[in-house]
Structure formats: structure tokens, C-alpha cells
A and B are shown apart, each in its own frame.
Chain A
Amino acid sequence: MKTIKSSVKFFIFILTGLILLITSNIVGELQVYQGSYVLTYGVAIASIVLLTGYSGQLSLGHSALMAVGAYAAAIATNTYGVTPGLAIVIAVLASIIFGYLLGSVVARLSGPYLAGTTLALAVSLPTLANQFSFMGGEQGLMFDVGTPPSRFGESFSLYKWFFWICAVAALVTLYFISNILSSRYGRMFKAMRDNQLAAQLAGINTSQLKIMAFSISSGMAGMAGGLMVMLISGVSPSAFPLSLSFLLLTGAVVTGVYSLKGVMLGGLVLVAMPEIADIIALNVGGSDRLTATLPGFLVSALLNLAVMFAPNGPGQLLNRSHLKKKLGKEINDQK
């Protein structure tokens, strides 16, 4: 059963990759550019799903974790002349190490204390980059991913090349994570999340598990950071502000923080929302003030609505109406 399952899953991922490949050749530059962001955000949101949805630790510092990966990749190419592909691998490794260290320190903190620490981290880590000149200071570092391999020809758009890299990275990462989460580790995470004491009594080493979750989650965030550096062609201290952490959390909650199913949808929401808000603002007309504040208003409103009515993810909305019908039928039957 297991072998069939994993080979079918593998096939599904390959198939998805092919679909993305074909699509990227049809659509225009803008779409692949935005598609790359969807994929990148999707990976970042997946890291939150792992850390918060599965291992139950709320972190507000994912922007800092992405920054670690981003700077690692940029420094690797700038100071050491590493090729961009390898740089992203370095980004992941650096973030895993950082996540491990961070996790060892904060894993024993509960709820708001963990949130507060990660919040302070998110705010102060970027300013550290300002201090050291090899990190480029306020200016930041450029990241030149070069041109697409020449065998693709002259007209192969750089943005399409980005999209391919993001797609491969995202698919590999998600495949890896979904394997972990459907394995024994996934079950242990969920047990620990639902009742830490009971899990400990059942023999699970919760602090080790939490640190492991932190490390993997950081690695994923670091990969997302590395991909972002590529998309932006550079990194600077203010590239990963606290508001990014909030944005990712929003994406995770809106599409369901408990499962990986919604992460790409979450990425799409994060990319599409500002665009949609801008379009609405433009069509509604009105003052400059309106166009400036409307996008923020719409995104926050969406978040609030999602949290109010479907805090466990959009699946809950469907389940509820389904449940109501079922319950209603049962009650009627009993009358």
C-alpha cells in the first residue's frame, strides 16, 4: 500500500510540473511573474502550516527567517561567487541551522511569549544587516541570477526562467513536506499540538520535536527567501519587514492553517488581493486618499471575515452547511 501511495504521489507531482511547464509557455510575462510570486508565497505559507498548524507554535518572525535565507543566498553569490542555483541551496541550509538554533532557545516558550520573541526578532534582524558592510548595509546586495541558459534561445524571458526555478523548488519542497506530514512525524506533530501533556506521556520528546519543526519550517522559509531574492534581483534590510510576517499569517489562516492543501491558494490570494483591491479602488474613483487606503482596508477586511467565519479554513464553510443539513435531517427524523 505504501509503495503504491508514494509512487502515485510522485507521479502527481511530476504531472503538475508538466502542466506548469506547458502553461508557462502559453501565457505572457506578467502571468509568469505573478505566478512566481504565488509559488514563493505558497512555500512560505507552507512553512507556517508546518510550524503553527501542525506543531502548534505561533511565530510572527517568518519574515526574519526568509531574510536569513535571502541574505545567505546573496552573500554566497556576491562574496564567494557561488552560482545562483547553489546559492538557493545554501539559503535553505543556512536557514535550517538558524532555525535549529532559534528553536533550541524558544521552543520552551509558550503562546504569547513565543509570539513576542518572534515579533522582536522580525523587527530587529533586518536592522542587523545594516551594521555590517559585507551585508551591503542599507543599500543591500544585488543578486544577479544571470540570464537563462543559452540553449533556450534569445527570446526566452527571464521571468519565465524564474518561474521554472520557483516551480521546481516549490514542487520539490511541497513533495518533501507532504511526505513528512503524512508520516509518523506528522502524527506526532498533531498529537503534540492537540495535547502536549498527553503526547509527552505517550513518550514523545516534545522539545526535540518542536526544535525539528522550527528547523524544517525555517528551511522552507529560507528557500522562499532565496526565491524572493531571485525575483527581486536583490535584498536589503527593509525587504522583509514585520508586515510580511503578518501577510503570510493572513494567507495561512484564510486558506486553512491546518493543511497543506490550501497553501498555493493562499499564495494566490496574497498576490491577487492587492491587485483586485487596486482595480476596485480605480473603478470606484474617488479621492487619492481612497485609492491609498482601500487596498489595505480590503485585505484586512478579508482577513477579519475569514477569521470570523472560517477560522479553520474554507473547508469549514462547506462542512458547516453539510453538517447543518445532516443534523437537521437527524433532528427531523427523531421528531
Chain B
Amino acid sequence: MIRNNRMKRFSIVSSAVIVGALLLGVAPATAADPGITAKEIKLGMSSPIQGDAGKVYGKLPGAMKAYFNYINDNGGVYGRKITLIHRDDKYAPTLAAKQTTQLVINDKVFAIVGALGTPTHTLAYGSAQLAAKKIPDLFVNTGFSGFDDLVKYPTAFTVLPSYAMEAKVIAKYIKDTPALASLPSAFIAQDDEFGKDSTKGFTASGYKFAVPFKDTFYPQGGMSLDRAKGALTTLNGLGIKLLVLNTTADVSATILKAAESLKLEKKFTWIIGSVGGDSNTMLFLGVSPATIDGVIAASFFPDAKDSTDPYIKQFMTINSKYNKGITFDNVVLQGMNTAMLTVQALRAAGKNPTRAGLIEAIQTKGSTFASAALLPLNYSKTSHVGYNGYWVGQLNAKGELKPVGGTPTIYTTDSKSGPVVVSSFKRAPLPKNGIPNN
């Protein structure tokens, strides 16, 4: 009898618990498009604040909120305030999936914006049913070329140029520079989509490294100073003279510091991809300025330290007023730029935006949006690709990226096997005070 009662109690307790929890929430009637009222537009963002990726990208949501607040103080978007609801996903795919789902069914946002990371967002996109629910997924913060697949990710719009594009541009630059083309080279990268997307690009361009890719890939979190020393010694022993790095900024710092400790820093010519080429972080983490001097890096923005650039100057002003205490760098620049694109997208969707209307607006008008980047935006009915190229420059001892020869040469390409061409794109001028009026 006791057992009976215990079991009875157990089952009743558990179902009561669940029922109670379920009933405590109320099921509201769903509006036509959630997340938008006469006074407010709610946008959702899932990105890392804590953890390894968080220390690199943690500034992103704050920078976006700063820009949105600036716009809100200047009339918002047709009178509506933009509220950015951010959820920390610690760069863990399961958590990103959960958080994005929460943004949709709990916070009921109008659109997702600035989702960060490939393993995180590829999982989150499906898990939150963004395609089935036709929720716009604006300006994904990753260089993974797979997001331009309109069948798999019909509502997603990329913004950053893909890693494959970057690899092709770098390959062309190496081939076109005789001093570099003759050097035996190796490619050090993370062994996830970050690295693998780039290998696609290098393969498509026909450029060959002297060392097979799998020998120089490392797992995320697995490149310590000691490991870097080991890798550099091996590569030096093989006669490698050119190293291309597709790493996060803290890892490129580690590798450069390892080179310094082995006095190998000048034995290699360094090319660092746009993610790892954040000179601010590298200098901050103790890489010596003499080592940074001469490092070749690719970017699609003007240098974040260049206060003569009108976009940079405007963003810096907004940053000091609305994002107090945060140093302006590449990440902040990226955040504010994405926020500016978002505002223009919302404006282009008209005075009574719908989710479908937002998507259509970017498709038809997105390529004309003003942005800080020196590359064109390529949105159309058949393409959700944002920036499609890079310019290549050299860092100086202060960490400033300067184009080789004065004005930057803009290269554009695609993520597949199309050629790399020099573009004559001139970006749109900054809207007055940085407030879009499209």
C-alpha cells in the first residue's frame, strides 16, 4: 500500500508540476506580424557575450543598441522605437538554437538581426523554424558562404563577405605579387567552417600551399602558446616562408607571440584574415608593434582608426555618446554598420512594415543602402549576398591598416568559382549625421 501511495504521489506530483507550469503561461491571440506596434519594433539577436567567442564579439550587441538608441532619439523609424532584445548564446549551438527559438516564441520579435556564428546559426535557423514562419533573418554575422543558399535559408541575408571570397582575394593578391607568389606557404586555420570555407576558396582559385590543409588545422581552443611554438618550428623546418592565418584575433596574437619567443617573427611573411587581423586586440594582448609592422591583412571596411573617414568619424561620435566606456574598434564598427543597414531596411519596408515586406524591401532596394564598407551590397530577388569582396593592405606599427600604394584596390568575386575582378565601386556618401533618410 505504501508503494502504491508513493507511486501515486510521484505521478501526481510530476504531472501537477508540469501542468501547473504550462498553465501559468497564457496563450495570447497572435497578431498578424508579431513584434511591431504603432510605437515599437522589436528585433531579436542571439550572439555570444560569455566564453571564448564572447571576449572577441561581446561588444557587438552593445554597439548595435547604441546606434539604435541614436536613431530612436532622432525620431526612430517613422515614429517607432527600435528595441533590440539580445540573448547570450555563449557560442554554443544548442543554446543558440534555444535562444533564437525563445526570441521568436517568447519575446515575439519582428525579425532576427545580426545572428553570430556558423555552427550556432545553422542550427538555430532550423530549430527556430525561421523558414517555416517566414521570419526575416537580417545581416547574419558570419562569413560562411552557405547562408546564401536560398532553398535552405530563404529568409536569411548575409552581410559579411564569405571566407571563401576572402580566400580567393588573398590568393589573387599573392599570385599578382611576385615577391609573394614565389614563397612556399602554409595555411593555419581553425578546423571548423571558418577554415573549411576558406579552403574551398583557395581550391577554387587554384592556389596551392606547400603543406596539406589538414596538417595545419587546429581545434577551437586548442592553439596554446606551446602548440604554436611546435607548429612554427615544424613549418620553419619545412622551409615555409609565407603563412596565411585564418584564426581569431586572440589566436593570431598567440601565434605571433610564439614566433617572437622563437625569434622567427621576421622569418615569415604574414597574411592574416579579416577576423584575426584585428590589430587592436593583437597589440593589446602583447604582440610587439615591430612584429605587426608589415603584416598583410584584408578588410572590407576602412580602418577603424581612420577618423578622417566620414563614416568612422560619425560612428565614433555615436559611440562616445551612446556606448560609453567602450573603445571603438572593428567589432563596434561592424555592429553600428549592421544597425545602420537594419534601419534602412526597415525604412524601405514602408510606413507599415510586414515581415514579407521587409524581405522584399531588402531584395529590391538593399543594393542602394548606404554603408561604411568599401564593397558593394549585392541584394536582389535572386541573391541574398551582402558584401562580396575585400581590399588588401598592410598594417603599420601603430596597427593601422593602410592600402598598398595609397588608394585601396577593391576586389570582388563570389563564393564559388567565379573570377576575382577589380571593382570600381564607390560607396554612397554618409547620410546627414548618420541618420538614414531613404
Contact assessment for B18 and A5 in the assembled complex, using a CB-CB cutoff below 8 Å: no
In the complex, residue of chain B having the shortest beta-carbon distance to the beta carbon of A144: B126
Instruction: Tell me which residues from 7 to 38 in chain B have a Cβ below 8 Å from any Cβ of chain A.
Output: 7-15, 17-19, 21-23, 25-28
If A29-B105, A33-B101, A139-B193 touch, whether A39 touches B27 (CB-CB below 8 Å) is no
In the complex, residue of chain B having the shortest beta-carbon distance to the beta carbon of A271: B21
In the complex, residue of chain B having the shortest beta-carbon distance to the beta carbon of A70: B94
A-B contacts, CB under 8 A, total: 152
B254 close to chain A: CB less than 8 A:
no
B49 close to chain A: CB less than 8 A:
yes
* B20 CB to nearest A CB, Å: 9
* A146 CB to nearest B CB, Å: 12
Mask: chain A, 217-261; 1 = CB below 8 Å from B; 0 = not: 000000000001001111010111100000000000000000011
Contact assessment for B192 and A138 in the assembled complex, using a CB-CB cutoff below 8 Å: yes
B310 close to chain A: CB less than 8 A:
no
Contact assessment for A265 and B27 in the assembled complex, using a CB-CB cutoff below 8 Å: no
In the complex, residue of chain B having the shortest beta-carbon distance to the beta carbon of A37: B98
* B45 CB to nearest A CB, Å: 13
A158 close to chain B: CB less than 8 A:
yes
Contact of A182 among B3, B88, B98 (CB under 8 A): B3
Kindly state the separation between the CA atoms of A9 and B11 in the bound complex, as whole angstroms.
9
Contact assessment for A239 and B93 in the assembled complex, using a CB-CB cutoff below 8 Å: yes
Kindly state the separation between the CA atoms of A158 and B123 in the bound complex, as whole angstroms.
17
Contact assessment for B127 and A28 in the assembled complex, using a CB-CB cutoff below 8 Å: no
Contact assessment for A228 and B94 in the assembled complex, using a CB-CB cutoff below 8 Å: yes
If A140-B123, A232-B127 touch, whether A178 touches B25 (CB-CB below 8 Å) is no
Instruction: Tell me which residues from 365 to 393 in chain B have a Cβ below 8 Å from any Cβ of chain A.
Output: none
Contact assessment for A16 and B50 in the assembled complex, using a CB-CB cutoff below 8 Å: no
* A326 CB to nearest B CB, Å: 20
* B57 CB to nearest A CB, Å: 13
Mask: chain A, 126-169; 1 = CB below 8 Å from B; 0 = not: 01001000000111101010000000000000110000000000
* A99 CB to nearest B CB, Å: 22
If A35-B21, A260-B10 touch, whether A130 touches B93 (CB-CB below 8 Å) is no
Kindly state the separation between the CA atoms of A28 and B105 in the bound complex, as whole angstroms.
9
List chain B residues, Cβ under 8 A from A27.
Answer: 22-23, 25, 27
Kindly state the separation between the CA atoms of A24 and B17 in the bound complex, as whole angstroms.
14
B122 close to chain A: CB less than 8 A:
yes
Kindly state the separation between the CA atoms of A21 and B94 in the bound complex, as whole angstroms.
27
* A327 CB to nearest B CB, Å: 24
- A: residues with CB less than 8 A from B are 4-5, 8-9, 12-13, 15-16, 19-20, 23-24, 26-35, 37-39, 42, 127, 130, 137-140, 142, 144, 158-159, 178, 182, 228, 231-234, 236, 238-241, 260-261, 263-265, 268, 272, 288, 292, 296
Task: Contacts A28-B25, A261-B13 known; list 4 others, CB within 8 Å.
Answer: A16-B11, A144-B126, A239-B93, A240-B94
- B: residues with CB less than 8 A from A are 3-4, 6-15, 17-19, 21-23, 25-28, 49-50, 62, 88, 91-94, 97-98, 101-102, 105-106, 118-119, 122-123, 126-127, 129, 132, 191-193, 196, 219-220
Closest 5 CB pairs of A and B: A28-B27, A138-B192, A264-B14, A16-B15, A12-B11
